[in-house]
Amino acid sequence: MPVSKARTVVVTGSTSGIGLGIARGFAAEGANIVINGFGKAEEIEVIRRKLEDEGAAAALYHAADMTKPDEIADLIATAREKFGGVDVLVNNAGIQHVARIEDFPPEKWDQLIAILLSSAFHTMRHAIPLMKENGKGRIINVASAHGLVASPFKSAYVAAKHGILGLTKTAALELAQSGITVNAICPGFVLTPLVEKQIPDQAREKGISEAQVKDEVMLRLQATKEFVGIEEVAAAALYLASDAARSVTGTHISVDGGWTAQ
């Protein structure tokens, strides 16, 4: 089995948005990166190569669908096979669906819970034994301000994000004496494709314009009145993965422009 000295970082849902930003942050530190997520093969190959150009020791793409436990198992097994293990696991993949509970399609509920919550259980149950073998590891769950507070029409998302904070705390306690920390990041609104897609849905649900959703619904919640930058969330992930954060476990870092201070 080839073993590289560089740290190996697996980031789920990293073909876009926050996950890609986190992958780029670790690439710049010279890590082996395993990216994952959907997209066109040729565009993903451009992303993969760019990560190597930006400093990754190596970048590998794995197409695991985060609703499929067998594919998730293969993602972690592949990281071990290619790079010898997993040093940092970032559970980030996500989607959103916006509807009233009574109109919320049950299959959408199941899909959101699978991607946003159950996938992290599956990546963790396969990665933890590898981290224990190494005597160290970092697990970082990208939650949300919606892990701490709710908004209407986002029942599955809010439930999953509250759930992942519970999973984070439980895992942190289980692993506290194994050299493995488990934390979450709770971003506010970051202008990524996930957020851009929900603007028309929110406008329809609330009967307002798309510009009003941005200014009066999303940024109303952020005290700074500004969207959070992808690189700000990536910086929090890099900190949580650093030696300086070895006593930080079972908690979250909010990067939400003051949203949850209200």
Q: Is 163 near ligand NAD (CB under 6 A)?
A: no
Best CA proximity match to 171, nearest among 110, 93, 71, 163: 163
Span near ligand NAD by CB under 6 A; candidates 16-24, 100-108, 131-139, 172-180: 16-24
Alpha-carbon dihedral sign for residues 67, 192, 197, 103:
positive
**Phi/psi-derived region of residue 257, left when phi > 0, alpha when psi is between -120 and 50, beta in every other case:** left
Q: Is 193 near ligand NAD (CB under 6 A)?
A: yes
Q: What is the distance, to the nearest Å, from the Cα of residue 147 to the centroid of all Cα atoms in its chain?
A: 13
Could you tell me the CA-to-CA distances from 51 to 28, 30, 93, 191, 244 in Å, in that order?
8, 10, 18, 21, 25
- Count of residues binding ligand NAD (CB under 6 A)? 29
Q: Is 19 near ligand NAD (CB under 6 A)?
A: yes
Q: Could you say which of 118, 192, 249, 254 contacts ligand NAD (CB under 6 A)? A: 192
Tokens for 107, please give them.
């299959």
Residue (58 or 90) nearer to ligand NAD, CB: 90
Q: Is 260 near ligand NAD (CB under 6 A)?
A: no
- Please report which residue ranges of the chain form alpha helices under DSSP H: 17-28, 41-53, 69-83, 106-113, 119-134, 155-175, 193-206, 210-212, 219-221, 230-240
Q: Is 141 near ligand NAD (CB under 6 A)?
A: no
Q: Could you say which of 92, 168, 183, 202 contacts ligand NAD (CB under 6 A)? A: 92
Q: Could you say which of 113, 195, 235, 245 contacts ligand NAD (CB under 6 A)? A: 195
Q: Is 202 near ligand NAD (CB under 6 A)?
A: no
* SS3 assignment, position 82: helix
CB of 66 to ligand NAD, least distance (A): 3
Tokens for 36, please give them.
């994952």
CB-facing half-sphere around the CA of 42: CA atoms within 13 A: 0
CB of 57 to ligand NAD, least distance (A): 22
Span near ligand NAD by CB under 6 A; candidates 26-34, 64-72, 97-105, 172-180: 64-72
Residue (90 or 172) nearer to ligand NAD, CB: 90
> Would you call 61 a catalytic residue per the annotation?
no
Residue (67 or 251) nearer to ligand NAD, CB: 67
Q: Residues with Cβ < 8 Å from 53, sequence gap 6 or more?
A: none
Active-site choice (61, 153, 157, 227):
157
Q: Is 254 near ligand NAD (CB under 6 A)?
A: no
Best CA proximity match to 54, nearest among 12, 91, 22: 22
Task: Give contact residues for ligand NAD (rule: CB under 6 A).
Answer: 13-19, 36-39, 65-67, 92-95, 115-116, 142, 144, 187, 189-190, 192-195
> Which residues participate in catalysis according to the annotation?
157
